[in-house]
Every structure is written in structure tokens, then in C-alpha cells.
Structure 1
Amino acid sequence: MTQPQEGQSPLMSFLPLILIVVVFYFFMIRPQMKRQKELKKFRDELKKGDKIVTTGGIYGKIIELHETTLIMEVEGQSRLKIDKVAVIKDMSDVAQK
């Protein structure tokens, strides 16, 4: 790092670094926090009968809900017990074919 020039404020030498941190916050950290908040709200609002997709790509319908887990029914009436954290989205936004 270079020494501040004669008459230049030490704050002015740190201004580019401060600007980089501010830009990084608004374009990287803040949107990620917003997505996490929306996903937590979605998981808290799950109810029996909702169609969901897990992080592993398993499609199913919620049969039972517990505090941290749920039972989902998949193709062929198989039931899986999964953690709520594994649910990534519902199927209402997927186009019907």
C-alpha cells in the first residue's frame, strides 16, 4: 500500500476499500440474506397436502408435519421421512405439462 501523499487525508486513502465493502454488501450479502429469509418463511408455512421438491430432486406431497421433520409421499405411495431443511420449493410455480 502506498503512503498518503502530502496534504491527503488518511480517510481518502481508505475510501476505495470502503466503497468495495459497501458494493459487496449490497450486491452479494443482502440478496443472500433475503433469499434465506424467504426460504425460512416458506418452510414455516408448509402444510399437509403441499407438493414439494427436496434438495435431492425428489418430488412428493406432504402427508404429516412435525416440528423439524415431515413425512412425504412419493410415486407409488412410498413414504419418506425428511428434514424440513431439505425442502427447497413447492410445485405451484412449475408449469403443468
Structure 2
Amino acid sequence: MFIPAAHAQAAGAAADGGLASIISIAPLVLIFVVFYFLMIRPQQKRMRTLQQAVEAVKKNDSVVTAGGLVGKVTKVEDRLVEVEIAPNVRVKVVKATLAEVTPFGGKPAND
């Protein structure tokens, strides 16, 4: 008695199987598309902009490192940047650790 009912349910589901599976996957695809445009794409753009700024860093630019040091660039090498963090205090920083680059001649602080 139970077996014929099970076969009848499976036969009905097999006829609509393709459409039902597409409809059940559609919300997941929609969520991924929204996630891509709201989260992934802006982050990629921000990282690309930062990478270009780090490659173009030059003397007298103001920089912020990933560790939180703020200073002025005094010397640029291939992979390293020398940053003055206080008068006559210079440290060498790896370019990849720069988190922000502000070109020379930026807006002064309101101190």
C-alpha cells in the first residue's frame, strides 16, 4: 500500500524536477550577485587604488602603515620606504605594509 503512493509522488516530482531545481537555486544565485556588487567589487576597487598609490609613492608623501605609524617619506627604494615618524627619527618600512598614501601638499591638519 505504501509503495504505490511513493512511486506516484516520485513520478510527479520527476516531471517538474528541472523547473523546481532552477527555482530553488535562484535565491542563492541572487544572494551571490547582490553580495558581489555590494561587498566584493568595491573592496577590489579599493585595493587596486591602494596598490597604485603604493607603487607611485615618492619623497615627501605622507603615509600610514598597517601598524599605525604615521610619517613622511624621506627615501624610496625598490621594496622599502624610509619614513620619518618624528624629527630625526627614521624607520624603514616595507612598501606592502603601507595602508594609506597622501600626496605631498595635502590638506593640513587643523591644529
Pairwise TM-score range, normalised by the shorter structure? 0.7 to 0.9
Shift, 1:41, TM fit: 0.8
Q: Secondary structure at the match of 1:39?
A: helix
Structure number with the higher helix fraction is: 2
What residue in structure 2 maps to residue 32 of structure 1?
A: 43
Shift, 1:14, TM fit: 0.8
Cα distance per residue 1:21-41 (max 9 Å; x no partner): 111111111111011001001
Structure 2 Cα separation of the partners of residues 22 and 57 of structure 1: 35
Between Structure 1 and Structure 2, how many residues are aligned? 93
- Taking only the aligned residue pairs, the percentage that are identical comes to 34
**Structure 2 length-normalised TM:** 0.72
Cα distance per residue 1:29-78 (max 9 Å; x no partner): 11110110010011011101112121222121111111111111121211
Gaps of 5+ in 1: none
CA RMSD in angstroms, aligned pairs only: 2.0
Pick from 13, 22, 28 the counterpart of residue 11 of structure 1.
22
Structure number with greater Rg is 2
